[in-house]
Amino acid sequence: MQCLCHFQALSLKLPRFETDLSMQRPKNRRVVVAGYATATALASDFAATWRRVLAGEAGFRRLSRCRVETRSNVVGEIPDWDPAKLPTVNAKEASVWNAGYVFLTVEMCRQALADAGLVMDGESAPRTACLIGSALNGSDAYRIAMGNYLEHGPLKVSPYLLPNLCANLPAGKAGMELGFTGPIISPQGACASGNHAIGLAARMIRDGDADFALAGGVETCLIPEIILGFTNMLATIKVGEKDRAFSDPRQASRPFSLDRKGFVLAEGAGVLVLAAEEAAVSRGLQAKAEVLGVGWNSDAHHFTRPNLTTVVQCMRAAIADAGLAPADIGAINAHGTSTKAGDGTEADCLREIFGAHLAKIPISANKSQIGHSLGAAAAIEAALAIESMQQQVVLPTVNHLPDPELADLDVVPNEFRRHSYEHVLSNAFGFGGTNCCLVFRGL
């Protein structure tokens, strides 16, 4: 009793914190998408990528980045991508920053800002955040360092190795080159990283922590160890002589198709410029879409196999956060990896949410054309989904052969379709059971 009384006496002397010292309340601002940039297996910029996806092309070819003895040798490489040829990169810079995702991030942020028309100045720079996710970060730089260590000794390990491996470094390097000084963060959500970046950036802008944000994902994953790792876990397609992709590598990725056999590993990048609505108006930026809903959770199930229950909850959360009902969704941008289990589970989840209405909703699987770029995939697909709403089309799922078990899904096979709609659901799921789904409204 004496100890209790003593504690009560002390507690009376503790200072009282007034409400104005607490964390500021969220401003609940609307968040819009003002621009974007992508680098994909089809092109190193968004305009060319868009032209080719609309034409129904796929960007796959035999691996040329390195030499690997494997039948999983059909990949998505960014064509004509050489950071050493960028006007801002000299020979020394290209040598010391040898993680491919560094300069790719800088260039995508530059292109995205240009697309949005957002200029960095004394007013905008401190209010611009950068959130760029990656699943594998600077694995290529580590490989180079290990080779130098084994062949030439410990003194030949680059002093730039650790910066090249730091997940936030590409965003930091972009800030050094482009001038923004807001928060830089690297969301690590495996293959959902791009959506996590967009969702987190939207929350920061909504709450008033930033007025603008560069958000997305970047991946440069085509090195032998990564390719073989995916091959040996039976995730990527093995192209044998009897496979239709043997003579035509462009047919290797076929989400929701009868003969899907695994995803096509690809490098890529996608960065979106987000803005508070009033900040976009004050700067004269043209809003392309609104980030209307975010849903995110985890499976607590398996490190690679998705969990139907929690994936359904994630999609429903995004739709509910948008203030919508499932019937309001006009199109779906599927995660659609081209694996038997992944596509089948996603289809089951969509049936659970949309019921009989699912047959009326067109579904795109962009990985049929650009492959699976891991941490970059969701951001690239978000940009494609928004541009599709802008143009009132739905992009095709190419290389498609009807699967009787998925006959109730309208996957827009092989050619794009004109379609009038206002809202799109964009799905992303990653290793470790991490899920993030977004709802965008067209403007």
Residues annotated as catalytic (active site), given as ranges: 191, 335, 372
Sequence-separated (6 or more) residues with CB below 8 Å from residue 266: 40, 41, 59, 60, 75, 76, 77, 219, 221, 370, 371, 372, 373
Can you name the residues that pair with 74 across neighbouring β-strands? 62
Rounded distance between C-alpha atoms, residue 322 and residue 202, angstroms: 13
The pairing of beta strand 423-430 with beta strand 417-418: unpaired
Collapse the DSSP code of 275 into the 3-class scheme (helix H, G, I; strand E, B; otherwise coil) and give the result: strand
Report whether 256 contacts 347 (CB < 8 A).
yes
Report whether 310 contacts 70 (CB < 8 A).
no
Rounded distance between C-alpha atoms, residue 221 and residue 264, angstroms: 12
Q: How far is CA 161 from CA 103, 144, 181, 260, in A?
A: 15, 9, 24, 38
Task: Quote the tokens at residue 132.
Answer: 């760029």
Sequence-separated (6 or more) residues with CB below 8 Å from residue 310: 297, 298, 299, 300, 301, 433, 435
Rounded distance between C-alpha atoms, residue 140 and residue 164, angstroms: 9
Q: Which of 226, 162, 182 is nearest to 373 (CA)?
A: 226
Residue with tokens 């690679």: 304
Phi, psi of 218 (to 5 degrees): -140, 140
The pairing of beta strand 423-430 with beta strand 331-333: parallel
Report whether 141 contacts 161 (CB < 8 A).
yes
Rg of the chain over Cα atoms, rounded to whole angstroms, equals 23
Rounded distance between C-alpha atoms, residue 251 and residue 243, angstroms: 9
Rounded distance between C-alpha atoms, residue 23 and residue 130, angstroms: 22
Ranges of H-type helices in 192-307: 193-207, 224-232, 277-283
Report whether 263 contacts 239 (CB < 8 A).
no
